[in-house]
Amino acid sequence: MIKLWKPSGGYYMLWTGIVYTIVGAADVFWLHFCPVEYLSMVWSIILSLPLVIPPLGRYLNMKPLWIRKESAMSDNVYSLPDVSRPTRPAPPPMPPAKEDEHYRVGVTSDGRTTLTFLGSSGATMTLTMGRGAVEQMIRLLEATFDDEK
């Protein structure tokens, strides 16, 4: 069987909404005892009662607005490092590239190939690739050539 009432904020909101709908419909279509705006204000006040009256809020398993909630898992939360001060200094800028130098090719200590693109503003982008990736890059670059020369 479905429970029609359980002390919670959701059920409180549901039943006050149903009463508001019935009273509002009776006012609009039949009784005309007050403006609908007044009904809306009264319903808003009734909805906020558990937030400002502690005994009603405790009955509905809600806490008043002014009670501070303590974190349930404060010892289980990872604290992020303080970002107000840098942890390490920024790397020094690379020397500016020559006018005709747009990239550099190198090899890492573990045998991988590096391809560094040099921007005119001193910005760089480095690709580090294994043998298979280098061969694929060569095939992709060869595919862009015109064979009609």
- Residue 64 located in a structural domain: no
Supply the pTM of this predicted model: 0.39
First to last CA, the chain: 84
- Residue 82 located in a structural domain: no
Structural domain that includes position 55: 9-59
Residues 104 and 149 in one domain: yes
The whole-angstrom separation of Cα 143 and Cα 146 is 8
- Residue 50 located in a structural domain: yes
Give residue-wise pLDDT tens across range 81-92: 666 765 566 666
Specify whether the CB–CB gap between 5 and 15 falls below 8 A: yes
- Residue 136 located in a structural domain: yes
Q: How many domains does the chain have?
A: 2
Give residue-wise pLDDT tens across range 101-124: 888 899 988 889 999 888 877 788
DSSP string, 84-116: SS-SSPPPPPPPPPPTT--EEEEE-TTS-EEEE
Specify whether the CB–CB gap between 98 and 68 falls below 8 A: no
